[in-house]
Amino acid sequence: MDEQEYQIVLVKWADAHTGEGGWHTIEDYEDDGECVVETVGFLIPPTEPGGKKGHISIWQTIKEGDGIHPMHIPDGMIRSIQFLKAFSTEISLLAC
């Protein structure tokens, strides 16, 4: 698959996390819910090189068949996937 065909996505997923440090009475400990984090990158299908079955695979950077920083998030941890599109108007970042 050509890198121009890769979709850029925002993935929201439940990460492993810890509670506050220190000693706690187990009976009084309250679950504070999921730790949902957000990651953006190039989506690689699980059937393609760089993808992983049973996971959502995203890479930070892709160039001419090479890539860096792959992340493989197990399917069961995924809460949502949003496909991102380019803005319809140009934004000049050089004006900042």
Range of the domain at 44: 3-21+29-95
Q: pLDDT class for 5, splitting at 50, 70, 90?
A: confident
What pLDDT is stored for residue 61 in this prediction?
94
CA proximity to 56, closest of 66, 41, 68, 35: 41
Count of domains forming the chain: 1
Does the pLDDT value for residue 72 go beyond 70? Answer: yes
- What confidence tens digit (pLDDT) does each residue in 74-93 have? 999 999 999 997 766 666 66
Check which CATH number belongs to the domain holding 76 and give it. 2.30.30
What pLDDT is stored for residue 2 in this prediction?
47
Q: Lowest-pLDDT range, 19-33, 58-72, 78-92?
A: 78-92
- Give the global pTM: 0.78
What pLDDT is stored for residue 31 in this prediction?
82
What pLDDT is stored for residue 92 in this prediction?
66
